C-alpha cells in the first residue's frame, strides 16, 4: 500500500499520445496517476517510469474501457494503491475514418462501443467514486464543429460524449465535482498521423491560425488546468485547437 497522496488521477489511454502527456502533466502537479492502457502494457510502463524518474508516483493497469468489470477493477486498483480517486481524464478512444456511405456497420459499432459505451462506464464509475473537490474530464473532438468528410461516425460518438458530460455536470450538483469535456483539434499523435501523407498533414496544419498542429502537451496543459485550479469551469466543452474552429 502506497501512502495516501493529496490527489489521485486515473488517466485512461495513458500509454501514449495525449493520454501520456496528460498523465505526465498531472504528475508534475503532484498528482498520483494510474496509467490505464488497453493493449500496450509496455508503453504504459514506460509512462510510469517517466513519471517516477521525474519524482512522481504512478502505476499501470490494463483493461477494456467498454467492459464494466474491468473498469470497476481499475477504480479499485486506484483506491487500493493510492487511497481514492479525485481526477478522471478519460482520453481513451478510437478513430476509424470512412465516409458514411462506405463505413461498414461492424466498424461503426466498434467506434460507438469504445467511445460512447466506454465513456458512459467511466463516467458512471466516476460519478459514484470521485471525491469532493474532484474533476471528471472526458474527451471529445473539434471535429464535431469542423465537420470534415470521413469523420461522421467518429464525430457522432464524440457528440454523444459531449451530451453525457454536460448532463452529468448538472446531475452532480452539490458534490463539488466539476465535469467538463476537452475537445482537441488536429494534434500531432500517432492516431492523427495514421494514413495521412506528409502533404495532407502540412495542409491541415496550415489551416490553423497558429499555423501548426497541436501537441499532446498543449492538450495536457488545458486538462491540468480544469483538473486543478480551474474550479469555476464546469459543464463545458473546451475546444482546444488553436483557433481551428
Catalytic residues: 154
First to last CA, the chain: 46
Question: What residues form DSSP beta bridges with 61?
Answer: 36
Asked whether the beta carbons of 41 and 33 are under 8 A apart, the reply is no
Asked whether the beta carbons of 57 and 27 are under 8 A apart, the reply is yes
Report the alpha-carbon angle 204-158-194, nearest 5.
Answer: 40
Which of 117, 73, 93, 89 is closest to 33 using CA atoms? 89
Half-sphere exposure of 99 (CA within 13 A, CB side): 2
The two beta strands, 58-62 and 32-37, are: parallel
DSSP 117: I
In terms of DSSP H, where are the helices of 130-238? Answer: 143-146, 152-171, 190-193, 198-207, 216-227
Amino acid at each position: 500500500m502506497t501512502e495516501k497522496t493529496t490527489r489521485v488521477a486515473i488517466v485512461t489511454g495513458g500509454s501514449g499520445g495525449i493520454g501520456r502527456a496528460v498523465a505526465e502533466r498531472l504528475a508534475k502537479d503532484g498528482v498520483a496517476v494510474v496509467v490505464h492502457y488497453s493493449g500496450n502494457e509496455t508503453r504504459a510502463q514506460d509512462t510510469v517510469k517517466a513519471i517516477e524518474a521525474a519524482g512522481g508516483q504512478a502505476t499501470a493497469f490494463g483493461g477494456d474501457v467498454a467492459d464494466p468489470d474491468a473498469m470497476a477493477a481499475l477504480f479499485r486498483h486506484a483506491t487500493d494503491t493510492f487511497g481514492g480517486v479525485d481526477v478522471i481524464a478519460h482520453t481513451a478512444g478510437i478513430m476509424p475514418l470512412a465516409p458514411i456511405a462506405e463505413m461498414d456497420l461492424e466498424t461503426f459499432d466498434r467506434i460507438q462501443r469504445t467511445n460512447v459505451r466506454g465513456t458512459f462506464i467511466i463516467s458512471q464509475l466516476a460519478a459514484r467514486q470521485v471525491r469532493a473537490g474532484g474533476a471528471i474530464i472526458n474527451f471529445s473532438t473539434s471535429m464535431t464543429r469542423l465537420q470534415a468528410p470521413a469523420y461522421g461516425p467518429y464525430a457522432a460518438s464524440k457528440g454523444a460524449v459531449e451530451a453525457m458530460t454536460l448532463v452529468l455536470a448538472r446531475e452532480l450538483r452539490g458534490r463539488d465535482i466539476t465535469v467538463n469535456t476537452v475537445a482537441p483539434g488536429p494534434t500531432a499523435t500517432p492516431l492523427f498521423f495514421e494514413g495521412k501523407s506528409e502533404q495532407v498533414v502540412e495542409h491541415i496544419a496550415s489551416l490553423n491560425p497558429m499555423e501548426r498542429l497541436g501537441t499532446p502537451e498543449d492538450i495536457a496543459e488545458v486538462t491540468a488546468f480544469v483538473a486543478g485550479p480551474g474550479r469555476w469551469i464546469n459543464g463545458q466543452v473546451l475546444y482546444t485547437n488553436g483557433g481551428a474552429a
